[in-house]
């Protein structure tokens, strides 16, 4: 009988230790994810971004009834921005966080279809390079891929939800 009581106490203690360890791991993981979320929301930003689609890591910023979406790639040190034009076409910009010569342009070896060179532009602070594009048409089910002499991106817009931006374009046409 004493053996059964000791075994029962051991099993209860093991269960309590397991629950405490599991809860500790869960809350530590939640804390780490919260820290990562804060880093992403403030990465290369001077404005307060918020989650538009946290699962797909898409952020949104709305100013003057016009929203911009963005996605941060911490591993490769860049941010992709996307917004809708008045004709519902998509424009995008990538910001590569890198030290550069203020307000200077860099001609890359990559070319547009007309043969002109693609250019990276350094911002006023000298801490980031920008590259902008505008796609024709309203389709957003595509992957944007560029390699601009070592500054490369790859982003699949298929899972980005642009409905809020489309609604804003429609509402801006009110007479």
At residue 80, the pLDDT reads: 98
Domains held by the chain: number:
2
Q: CB–CB of 128/97 below 8 Å?
A: yes
Percent of the chain topping pLDDT 90: 77
Statement to judge: residues 133 and 115 lie in one domain: yes
Statement to judge: residues 81 and 1 lie in one domain: no
Report residue 52 as tokens.
């538009």
At residue 151, the pLDDT reads: 97
Count of alpha carbons within 13 angstroms of residue 41, beta-carbon side: 15
pLDDT in tens, 21-60: 988 888 888 888 899 999 999 999 999 999 999 999 999 9
DSSP state string for 130-164: EEEEE-SSS---SEEEEEETTEEEEEEGGG---HH
At residue 1, the pLDDT reads: 73
The predicted model gives 91-112 an average pLDDT of 97
pTM for this structure? 0.86
Statement to judge: residues 57 and 108 lie in one domain: yes
Q: What range defines the domain where residue 28 resides?
A: 1-42
Statement to judge: residues 38 and 90 lie in one domain: no
Report whether pLDDT(175) > 80.
no
Report whether pLDDT(13) > 90.
no
At residue 41, the pLDDT reads: 96
């Amino acid at each position: 009988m004493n053996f059964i009581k000791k075994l029962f106490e051991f099993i209860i203690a093991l269960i309590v230790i397991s629950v405490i360890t599991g809860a500790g791991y869960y809350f530590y993981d939640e804390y780490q994810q919260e820290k990562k979320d804060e880093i992403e929301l403030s990465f290369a930003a001077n404005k307060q971004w918020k989650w538009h689609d946290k699962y797909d890591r898409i952020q949104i910023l709305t100013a003057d009834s016009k929203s911009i979406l963005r996605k941060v790639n911490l591993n490769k040190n860049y941010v992709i921005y996307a917004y809708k034009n008045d004709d519902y076409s998509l424009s995008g910009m990538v910001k590569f966080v890198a030290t550069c010569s203020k307000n200077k342009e860099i001609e890359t070896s990559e070319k547009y279809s007309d043969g002109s060179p693609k250019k990276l532009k350094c911002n006023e602070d000298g801490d980031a390079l920008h590259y902008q594009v505008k796609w024709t048409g309203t389709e957003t089910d595509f992957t944007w891929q560029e390699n601009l002499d070592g500054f490369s991106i790859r982003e699949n817009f298929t899972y980005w939800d642009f409905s809020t931006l489309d609604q804003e374009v429609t509402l801006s046409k009110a007479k």
